[in-house]
Amino acid sequence: EALKFAISQKLLDIAIDPQGMTPEIHLGGAQQFQHDVAAFERLFRAGGSGAGKEADNTIEPGPMERVVAGSHLMSLEPSQIQTIRDALRTLAVPSAGIGSLFGRRGDESAVGECNSVVGDEVTRLNVDDFYNDDRLMEEANNMLEAKGFAALSLNESLSIINRRC
């Protein structure tokens, strides 16, 4: 169990990048990472007694559950990650407008494939915008939960979303 925790924690560190060593996540690398995470998950599931653990939703997700969710989030197709990014941006950045939810970007254009730009400013999602408003925080968490990413904190999700190209 200690080995599972240690490896899971290292994989989680790769996914959420707390040291800021990975400024961009590209789809091919994300898909390979998801494959590797799935291999470790199968290995640990085969070696341990994970039965019944998922039935109890009161237990906070451990590092393996969080890294599985993170690897899934980072490996979403570009249109799917953009939809989530736009929905969260619409919640947090009033000037983003609802048009972005329907693919109408107005004067926004892509910077590479990673971030959107409004005017001259790159629009990265900032977790403080959500922490400053309880209702926004609840809406963002509910949206991520509905998409299957409840194991991740909002901060972890935004770290991945902001770096995903």
Amino acid 49: pLDDT: 53
Question: Is the CB of residue 146 less than 8 Å from the CB of residue 62?
Answer: no
- Among 66-70, 75-79, 115-119, the range scoring the smallest mean pLDDT is 115-119
CA distances to 15, 45, 62, 64, 133 from 1, rounded to whole Å, are: 21, 11, 11, 11, 38
What average pLDDT does range 46-57 have in this prediction? 55
- For residues 111 and 64, what is the distance between their CA atoms, to the nearest angstrom? 33
* Burial bucket for residue 114 (CB in 10 Å: 0-12, 13-18, 19+): middle
pTM: 0.79
Each residue's pLDDT tens digit, 95-125: 655 544 444 344 444 434 465 544 444 578 9
